[in-house]
Every structure is written in C-alpha cells, then in structure tokens.
C-alpha cells in the first residue's frame, strides 16, 4: 500500500503521456473508443489530483515522502524532483477538471474536426501537470515546451484559414518566448550553479552583488517568457484572436494555460524573491503591478468593444490575468489567498463561457448579427410584425442556454451571490485588511487604483454581457433553435455548478487557500522539505 | 575565444531578431532558427568556457574539478537543440498550411501595399 502511494505524485504526468502515445496508432475512425479511453485516463488523473489535494490539505506530513518525489532516486539539488504542495495539488485539480469538461464536450462533434484530438489533449494535460509539479527550472522548460507543442496542435485542430493564421502568430510568439525562457534559465544557472528552485531560494541571499545582478537579469528575462504566456498587456495582443479562432473545447482548456504562467510567477516570485531573499526581496513587483493594471484596463476596454462573443471571452481572460498579476504586484501577503480563490473561480467561469458561446451561436447566422447591429443603429424597423408573435413559447434549449448565460454573466462581472463576487470581495478585503494592533498601514494610491480598476472591469463585463445577452436571447427567434446534445450542455452546467458550489462552500475553500498562501509565504519550509527529503529505500 | 563567442552570439541574435520582424513567413522561420542557435551558444557559454577540458570522466581517471568542464550546460544545450529543432519543423508545417490557404507567404495572410 505504501509503495503504491509513494508513486502518486508522478501519475498525473505519466498516465496522460502513456495514454497519448497509446492512442496514436489507433485508427481515427474509432473516435468513440479513443475518446472513452482518453476520458477514463483524465478521470484517473482527476481522482489522483483529488487524493493529492486531500492529503496536502491535511499537511505535508500526510503526503507520501512529504510530497517530494525524486525522479531516478537522486536527492534534490542533483536530481530532478516533483513537489506536491497545496498550490500544485490545486492546479492539478483545476487542469484535470477542465480537461474532463473539454473532453466530454468534444465528443459530441468537435473531435471529428481533425486528427489525434485526444492524444493532443492528453499531452497538453501531461505538460501542464508536469509544469505545476516540477521543482526544477530546466525541467519546467521541458514541460512548458511539451504543453506548448500540444497547444499548437490543438489550436490548429479543425484547420481553416482563420485558425492557421492565428496559429502562425501564436507559434511564432511562443517560440520567441521560449528562447527568452532558455536565456533566463541559463543566466540563473551561470550565476548560481543550480537549477533546483528550492536550492536557488536558499543560495540567493548569500550571493555576491555581481552574481545577484545576473540572477535578477535572468529572472527578469524568464519573467517576460511567463508574462507572454499569461497575457500581460504589451505582450498579449495575440491572445484574443487566438482564443477566439480556436475550437470551443480547446479554448476552454486554454483558459488554464494563462493561469499556468501566473502559477509560475506566484511560485517563483514568492519562493525565490520572497521575504527571505535579502536584497532581492520583492524583485520585479512594481513591473507586475503596472503591467497588471494596464492589462485590466486593456481587457476591460476590449470587453466593451468586442462584438463577437469569442473575442469577449478572450478579453475576459486578459481581465482575469491582469487582476491576478496586479494582485501579486501589490505585494500584500493578505491578498494571496483571495487571489488564489479568484484564479480558480475565474478559470472555471471563462472555460464554461467558451463552451457555452458555441452552443448559443450555433443557431445564429452571420446575417442576423449584421441585422442586429443595424437595428441598434437605426432603430427597430419591423415593429408591426412583432405584434403577431405574442405568446410564442421560448424553446426549452434556449431557456437552458439562457440560464447558463445568466450565471456566466453574474460570475464574470462579479455580482453577488456567486463565487465571482466572493473572489473579488476577498481580494479587496485582503487589500484593506487592518493588520495587528500597533501597526498602521496606509492604503496607497496604487491600492486605490487597483480597487477602481477591479470594480470598473466588473462593470464593463456586466455591460458587455447585458448587451450580448439581450441581442441573443431577447431577440425574436429566427426560426432555428440550436440543436444541442446533452453531452455538450452537461460540461457547461457542471463547470458552472462547480462555481456555485464554490460560492456555498466558500468557507472551507478559503481555509484551504489561506493555508496555501501561508505555505507560499514561508519559502523556507518548501526549501527544507525538498532539500532534506530522504531517498527511497533508505539513506 | 570569449570575444569570438560573444561576437557570434551577438551577430546571430541581431540577425535573428531582424528576420523575426520581417513580413515573410520564411524569413520568420530563419530568424527563429538563428535566434535558437544564439540561445544554444549562450547556454553553452553559461557553463564557462574551458579549452581542452572534457565534460566526462575517463574510465579510471581521477575526478579533479580543475581538469573538467561543466557537463550540465552541455546537456542543457542538447535538450534545447532537440526541442528547437522540433519546433522549427512544426512551424514549417504551419507555414506551408498558411501558404496553401492564402496563396501568399505574408505573415498576415494577405499582401500589403508598399511591401
């Protein structure tokens, strides 16, 4: 039993990888079989992620090997380690949950649009899981590349001029970012002689000033690579186009890709440049703050300006990234827990919204869109006809879709009572949190700007969702009600239900997030755990 | 040695960045390749330059740090080369698909006046 448990941390990487490889030789016509195998594998990963989360919630001691898995049984600074803690377990759950939703959704029709959809999805999951588990910088690069390579394939899934054009830009930008990643990693290695994150954190405070400068340069270059991924303002123009061009199940799982960039920034920022880092503590925070705020503003303007729902969702991704980046940049330890809650809630919401968009738009044709815009500009010109339509029942499908849309709108704009509101509330509560008696804390101009931006971005989301909702659901039905299969609406409902569940269980969820934040703010604990972990089989 | 290496990295990076910003997809591919060569040399340089020092122990040899060069940087370069190579191949496929769909090799899929 203990032997089996010991290998738990490596399963979220190995299982999808093996399944992806096994599915490639299977004939493309056996799609349902491929989909089912792939589904079962993701369920297994989800279960493992849940077990890891439960164990890590009970404390590191409950995890097998204190959560440190030594690949090849080499101790930490020399070998590569996988590290499970509350944050990585949370990301594992989020990723595999989204992958499940995307997979079920794709099995209705989207996986027929091209080859090897399920293999690519499994590779993406393996890459993300590896990236959140690894405790080694270069290994992080390898998992990042794996994730990106799979994402190139998935973005191009379904082909067509629009996707290929967006894909070309996406691939070019990410290849350039990967070069920066390598430059950053090798600078850090050249200056400190280590690639292990825990080892790096312990070595940094004692570094000579000239090496420290190199490490900081390396970290800055590395940071740019992650910020491209997470969509910070001047580096994010590719994002809405790429996300809007891709197929809906892929867009849903892509919602977590930006969060992987943010995960790495949280992890490295608090571990390596945390309070214990001496002269380098809080390195780069002012850049994150300024960039994050610019991202919120840009995203909010984009949300207001977009006519198509796909682009609206793309800009919502940017708003969510910006909110998180600026929250990290403000550097108040009280806000970390709220930021993590926001990360989970907004990712689930946006993924559900991406899935919902296609279902809603299926019934509309492009001409109706143009008509709607014209009607807005020149007023209603067929008032007489509407008299005859009084009493037409709303079709059941439209009612369900409309309800889901409503929940999405409430979540995206952060209105009470759902988790979008709770997330923003906890962020702001952390911002204004009065510290222990005796310490006066002033609320700076940056804090106020952040508050204003968060509230205004919520307002922008509400206006945009209102406009699109009215145009879609309250317009006269143009004959075609979208045909929606049960397995397409189920993932949307489940993702939204997860958000609603988060709203009702906000207490336990926030306790978990608070414990995660406490972990992150105590980088010494992480380093000790990784560096003192015993080898398997004695010694 | 140091001068040649740094001048090489600088030239490759400059040419790579210039080509990356050009409007033709083929130029972008070459730019990305040049950039990845520059990065590979850079990683190599980060392991410190040593002439006539092997990265591995010979059988029966003594493990003396003064006589060996850093093997890790070389291992990293190898990984980076493989990944960079695969990504270039993948980008070429996307390039060809784009060319097939749009009939032009402009990165935006359509010609612009003045190019």
A&B contacts, CB < 8 Å: 82
Which residues, in sequence order, are CB contacts of A181 under 8 Å at separation 6+?
A: A141, A144, A222, A225
The mean per-residue pLDDT over the stretch A416-436 comes to 83
CB distance from A167 to chain B under 8 Å? yes
CB distance from A72 to chain B under 8 Å? no
Contact of A187 with B46, CB cutoff 8 Å? yes
| Closest among A217, A93, A114 to A158, alpha carbons compared | A114
Number of structural domains, chain A? 1
User: Out of A219-223, A296-300, A387-391, A524-528, which region has the weakest mean confidence (pLDDT)?
Assistant: A387-391
Contacts of B20 in chain A (CB under 8 A): 172, 176
Surface-to-core class of residue A31, CB atoms within 10 Å of its CB (0-12 exposed, 13-18 middle, 19+ buried): middle
CB distance from A161 to chain B under 8 Å? yes
The mean per-residue pLDDT over the stretch A454-481 comes to 83
Asked if B109 lies within 8 A of A161 by C-beta distance, the reply is yes
The mean per-residue pLDDT over the stretch A432-439 comes to 63
Asked if B107 lies within 8 A of A168 by C-beta distance, the reply is yes
Contacts of B25 in chain A (CB under 8 A): 168
Angstrom distance (rounded) from CA A230 to CA A295: 10
> Residue A99 — very low, low, confident or very high, per pLDDT cuts 50/70/90?
very high
Q: Please tell me which residue, A499 or B114, carries the higher pLDDT value.
A: A499
Domain-located, residue B63: no
With a cut of 70, say whether residue A289 has pLDDT above it.
yes
Chain B residues interacting with chain A (CB cutoff of 8 angstroms)? 20, 25, 28, 32, 35-36, 38-39, 42-43, 45-48, 72-73, 76, 79-80, 83, 86-87, 90-91, 94-95, 97-98, 101-102, 107-109
With a cut of 50, say whether residue A84 has pLDDT above it.
yes
Angstrom distance (rounded) from CA A235 to CA B80: 24
ipTM of the complex: 0.92
pLDDT over 90 for what percent of chain B?
A: 40
Task: Nearest by CB to B35, from A167, A176, A190: name it.
Answer: A176
Q: What does the DSSP 8-state code read for residue A156?
A: T
With a cut of 50, say whether residue A318 has pLDDT above it.
yes
The mean per-residue pLDDT over the stretch A66-76 comes to 82
pLDDT over 70 for what percent of chain B?
A: 97
Of these ranges, A53-62, A368-377, B68-77, the one predicted with the greatest mean pLDDT is B68-77
Provide the domain limits for residue B46.
2-51+69-102
pLDDT over 90 for what percent of chain A?
A: 37
Of these ranges, A26-30, A277-281, B93-97, the one predicted with the greatest mean pLDDT is B93-97
With a cut of 70, say whether residue B106 has pLDDT above it.
yes
Domain-located, residue A188: no
pLDDT the model gives residue A385: 44
> Residue A384 — very low, low, confident or very high, per pLDDT cuts 50/70/90?
very low
The mean per-residue pLDDT over the stretch A109-114 comes to 79
Domain-located, residue B82: yes
Asked if B98 lies within 8 A of A190 by C-beta distance, the reply is no
DSSP-based three-state secondary structure for A390 = coil
Q: Which two tokens stand for residue B15?
A: 């040419």
Provide the domain limits for residue A309.
284-378+395-433+444-508
Domain-located, residue A222: no
Residues constituting chain B: 115
Average pLDDT over chain A, rounded to an integer: 85
pLDDT the model gives residue A364: 64
The mean per-residue pLDDT over the stretch A53-60 comes to 82
pLDDT the model gives residue A395: 74
Q: Please tell me which residue, A480 or A256, carries the higher pLDDT value.
A: A256
pLDDT the model gives residue A294: 93
Domain-located, residue B113: no
User: Out of A140-149, A279-288, A423-432, B66-75, which region has the weakest mean confidence (pLDDT)?
Assistant: A279-288
Closest CA in chain A for residue B28:
A172
pLDDT the model gives residue A480: 65
> Residue A386 — very low, low, confident or very high, per pLDDT cuts 50/70/90?
very low
> Residue A464 — very low, low, confident or very high, per pLDDT cuts 50/70/90?
very high
Rounded (10°) CA dihedral A212, A216, A217, A218 = 100
With a cut of 50, say whether residue A477 has pLDDT above it.
yes
Q: What does the DSSP 8-state code read for residue A136?
A: B
pLDDT the model gives residue A25: 87
Domain-located, residue B110: no
Angstrom distance (rounded) from CA A177 to CA A156: 19
Average pLDDT over chain B, rounded to an integer: 87
Asked if A145 lies within 8 A of B83 by C-beta distance, the reply is yes
Domain-located, residue A419: yes
pLDDT the model gives residue A390: 47
Domain-located, residue A315: yes
With a cut of 90, say whether residue A122 has pLDDT above it.
yes
Q: How far is A246 from chain B (nearest CA, A)?
A: 15
Which residues, in sequence order, are CB contacts of A377 under 8 Å at separation 6+?
A: none
Domain-located, residue B27: yes
pLDDT, tens digit, 9 for 90 and up, residues A168-189: 899 999 999 999 999 999 999 9
pLDDT the model gives residue A537: 67
pLDDT the model gives residue A373: 54
pLDDT, tens digit, 9 for 90 and up, residues A234-271: 888 889 888 888 888 999 999 999 999 999 999 988 88
Q: Which two tokens stand for residue B113?
A: 């006046």
The mean per-residue pLDDT over the stretch A90-111 comes to 90
pLDDT the model gives residue A115: 81
pLDDT the model gives residue A48: 92
Asked if A179 lies within 8 A of B28 by C-beta distance, the reply is no
Domain-located, residue A293: yes
Task: Nearest by CB to B98, from A165, A176, A185: name it.
Answer: A165
Scan for tokens 């312990």, then name that residue: A202
SS (H, E, C) A261-282: HHHHHHHHHHHHCCHHHHHHCC
Number of structural domains, chain B? 1
pLDDT, tens digit, 9 for 90 and up, residues A356-380: 988 888 766 555 555 555 555 555 5
Domain-located, residue B60: no
| Closest among A413, A411, A428, A433 to A503, alpha carbons compared | A411
> Residue A114 — very low, low, confident or very high, per pLDDT cuts 50/70/90?
confident
Q: How far is A114 from chain B (nearest CA, A)?
A: 14
> Residue A518 — very low, low, confident or very high, per pLDDT cuts 50/70/90?
confident
- How, if at all, do strands A81-83 and A68-70 pair? antiparallel
Asked if B97 lies within 8 A of A159 by C-beta distance, the reply is yes
Closest CA in chain A for residue B70:
A193
Q: Please tell me which residue, A49 or A439, carries the higher pLDDT value.
A: A49
> Residue A351 — very low, low, confident or very high, per pLDDT cuts 50/70/90?
very high
User: Out of A289-303, A383-397, B81-95, which region has the weakest mean confidence (pLDDT)?
Assistant: A383-397
């Amino acid at each position: 039993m203990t032997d089996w448990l010991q290998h738990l941390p490596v399963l979220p990487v190995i299982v999808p990888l093996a399944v992806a490889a096994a599915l490639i030789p299977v004939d493309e016509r056996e799609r349902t079989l491929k989909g089912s195998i792939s589904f079962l594998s993701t369920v297994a990963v989800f279960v493992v992620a849940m077990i890891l989360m439960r164990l890590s919630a009970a404390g590191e001691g409950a995890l097998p090997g204190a959560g440190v898995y030594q690949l090849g049984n080499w101790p930490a600074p020399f070998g590569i380690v996988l590290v499970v803690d509350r944050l990585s377990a949370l990301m594992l759950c989020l990723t595999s949950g989204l992958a499940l939703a995307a997979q079920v959704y794709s099995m209705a029709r989207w996986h027929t649009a091209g080859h090897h959809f399920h293999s690519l999805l499994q590779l993406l999951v393996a890459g993300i899981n590896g990236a959140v588990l690894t405790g080694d910088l270069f290994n992080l690069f390898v998992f990042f590349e794996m994730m990106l390579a799979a994402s190139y394939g998935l973005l191009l899934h379904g082909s067509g001029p629009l996707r290929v054009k967006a894909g070309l830009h996406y691939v070019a930008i990410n290849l350039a970012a990967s070069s920066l990643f390598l430059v950053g990693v090798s600078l850090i290695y050249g200056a400190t002689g280590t690639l292990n994150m825990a080892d790096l954190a312990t070595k940094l405070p004692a570094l000579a000033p000239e090496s420290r400068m190199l490490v900081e340069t390396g970290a800055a270059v590395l940071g740019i690579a992650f910020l491209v991924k997470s969509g910070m303002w001047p580096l994010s123009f590719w994002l809405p186009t790429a996300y809007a061009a891709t197929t809906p199940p892929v867009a849903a799982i892509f919602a977590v890709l930006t969060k992987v960039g943010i995960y790495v920034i949280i992890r490295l920022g608090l571990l390596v440049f945390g309070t214990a880092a001496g002269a380098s503590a809080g390195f780069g925070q002012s850049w994150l703050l300024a960039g994050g705020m610019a991202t919120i503003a840009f995203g909010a303007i984009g949300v207001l300006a977009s006519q198509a729902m796909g682009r609206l969702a793309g800009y919502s991704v940017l708003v969510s990234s910006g909110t998180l980046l600026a929250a990290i940049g403000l550097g108040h330890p009280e806000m970390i827990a709220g930021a993590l809650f926001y990360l989970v809630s907004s990712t689930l919401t946006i993924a559900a919204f991406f899935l919902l968009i296609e279902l809603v738009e299926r019934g509309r044709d492009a001409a109706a869109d143009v008509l709607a815009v014209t009607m807005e500009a020149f007023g209603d010109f067929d008032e007489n006809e509407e008299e005859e339509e009084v009493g037409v029942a709303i079709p059941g499908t439209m009612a369900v879709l409309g309800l889901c849309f409503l929940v999405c709108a409430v979540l995206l704009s952060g209105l009470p009572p759902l988790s979008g509101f709770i997330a923003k509330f906890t962020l702001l509560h952390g911002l204004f949190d009065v510290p222990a008696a005796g310490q006066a804390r002033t609320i700076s101009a940056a804090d106020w700007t952040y508050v204003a931006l968060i509230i205004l971005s919520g307002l922008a989301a509400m206006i945009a969702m209102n406009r699109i909702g009215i145009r879609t659901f309250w317009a006269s039905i143009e004959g075609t009600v979208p045909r929606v299969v049960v397995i397409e609406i189920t993932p949307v409902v489940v993702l939204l239900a997860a958000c609603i569940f988060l709203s009702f269980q906000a207490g336990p969820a926030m306790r978990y997030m608070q414990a995660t934040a406490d972990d992150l703010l105590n980088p010494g604990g992480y380093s000790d755990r990784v560096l003192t972990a015993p080898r398997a089989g004695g010694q | 040695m140091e001068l040649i290496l740094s001048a090489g990295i600088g030239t490759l990076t400059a040419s790579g960045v210039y080509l990356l910003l050009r409007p033709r997809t083929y130029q972008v591919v070459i730019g990305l390749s040049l950039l990845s060569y520059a990065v590979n040399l850079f990683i190599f340089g980060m392991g410190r330059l040593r002439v006539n020092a092997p990265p591995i122990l010979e059988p029966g040899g003594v493990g003396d740090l003064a006589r060996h060069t850093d093997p890790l940087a070389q291992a990293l370069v190898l990984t980076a080369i493989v990944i960079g190579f695969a990504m270039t191949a993948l980008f070429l496929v996307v390039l060809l698909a784009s060319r097939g769909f749009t009939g032009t090799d402009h990165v935006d899929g359509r010609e612009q006046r003045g190019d």
